[in-house]
Amino acid sequence: MHGLIRELFPICRSITGDGVRQTLARLAQEIPLVQHEVPSGTSVFDWTVPREWNVRDAYVKHPRGERVIDFRRHNLHLVNYSVPVRRTMTLTELRPHLHSLPDQPDLIPYRTSYYKEAWGFCLPHRQLEQLPDTEYEVLIDSTLAEGHLTYGECLLEGDTPQEVLISCHTCHPSLANDNLSGLAVATFLAKHLATVPHRYSYRVVFVPGTIGAITWLSRNEERVRHIRHGLVLTCIGDRASFTYKRSRRGDATIDHAVEHVLQHEDPGRRVVPFSPYGYDERQYCSPGFNLPVGCLMRSHHGHFPEYHTSADNPDFVTPEALAVAFSTLLSVFDVLEHDGRYVNLQPKCEPQLGRRGLYASTGGSSPSDLAMAMLWVLNLSDGQAGLLDIAHRSGMPFATVREAAERLERHHLLAAAP
């Protein structure tokens, strides 16, 4: 996963354009990915698919011929979606088009101008303060023309048409945590899920932020009725503990599943309520859809100093953090896959577990975790509570509760609820 991030990092992505296509083509080497092209001007609810943006080169050049700001050196130097420019300007004329971070003077900020025609460059504030007061050659060799919005989709069919939606954004250029960590983890999750049986179908979508999710929802209004659970993945590769943002519903199964897994796997986790600002969970959770989609991240967007700066590079994310994110999500999916309601077939008093080899033959000590889980499952399996409910109420890991239910079912003490 970390190697994939390093490979994709130099590509200049945006909400449209060849950078997105190049990124999706690389992901398609790992998973069965279908690319969709939606023409510019297409109406998608209250929005319109914008014109396609591509850039070949951009710089600010000193009269001596030195590129003092160079898009080819780092693609964050160019304000994303900048219109074409070819001019000679004084520093005074150029200054309103230059963006920096006075509080982080050695970092390049990430700035965009998607829906208003403008242009600009980003640079470290320390460099900005040292620019000589002279004339500069300014070039932005870009195109903003009728084209397409591109998104990718991978469907892994399961035993049922009910779906788990996994969504991540493809629109950021060289930003490793806020963009590529989600892409990498989602890709390798899909690669793994393609090799194992699963009850649910899994739909992994790689969409440009906001307009991409809106476009996908506009083209899939009938399909979304199959979505039972969903997660947006972002900022998932740094060293921080997990942050989970609940769905708009607040009490969806996905909310309980993620919170349960994090409770047992990450003591430092944070759970935050839904808000209508953030990533594409706000589109999936808009009131006209109200899908059960939460957002899983590590550092919360906007709340870590590397956010939307050149410090969000491949060294900021770690293979270890990606691996833990991967395994944590597999644990969440295991909960979704195996949660179910059962009925106790011996509900009048406690069945004798010892004669069935399910309980220690020597008394006087506390029951094992598995034996305790069997008692919880037997007591709460009334056809109404699911295994996740039982795990939550008992405070035990879902995997232990699931194993207890499987043992009880094998001994004909438990049956799946109708």
Q: Which residues of the chain have pLDDT under 70?
A: 360-366
Q: Are residues 77 and 176 in the same domain?
A: no
Q: For position 79, what pLDDT does the model report?
A: 98
- 178 annotated to a ligand binding site: yes
Domain extent, residue 239, equals 2-50+148-337
Claim to verify: residue 305 and residue 168 sit in the same structural domain: yes
Residue 359: the pLDDT is: 79
Within this chain, do residues 65 and 213 fall inside the same structural domain, yes or no?
no
Q: Which long-range contacts (CB under 8 A, 24 or more apart) does 319-322 make?
A: 319/1, 319/2, 321/236, 321/237, 321/238, 321/239, 322/1, 322/2, 322/5, 322/181, 322/184, 322/185, 322/236, 322/237
Q: Does residue 10 share a domain with residue 85?
A: no
**Residue 268 and residue 409 in one domain:** no
**pLDDT, tens digit, 9 for 90 and up, residues 233-260:** 999 999 999 999 999 999 999 999 999 9
Same domain, 19 and 160: yes
Q: How many structural domains comprise the chain? A: 3
Please give the structure tokens belonging to residue 120: 């600009």
* CA 78/CA 70 separation, integer angstroms: 8
- Domain holding 395: CATH number? 1.10.10.10
**Do residues 254 and 397 share a domain?**
no
Q: Say if pTM beats, i.e. exceeds, 0.75.
A: yes
Residues 78 and 183 in one domain: no
Q: Is 339 annotated as a binding residue?
A: no
Q: Are residues 62 and 15 in the same domain?
A: no
288 and 357 in a single domain? The answer is no
- CATH number, residue 115: 3.50.30.90
pLDDT of residue 318: 98
Instruction: State how far the Cα of 408 lies from the Cα of 418, in Å rounded to an integer.
Output: 17
| Final residue belonging to a domain, choices 307, 337, 367 | 337
pLDDT given at position 366: 61
Domain boundary among 315, 337, 359: 337
308 is in an annotated binding site: yes
Last residue of a domain, one of 283, 317, 337: 337
349 shares a domain with 255 = no
Residues 184, 31 contacting (CB under 8 angstroms): no
Cβ–Cβ under 8 Å, residues 132 and 68: no
What's 169's domain CATH number? 3.40.630.10
Same domain, 220 and 94: no
Contact between 113 and 65 under an 8 Å Cβ cutoff? The reply is no
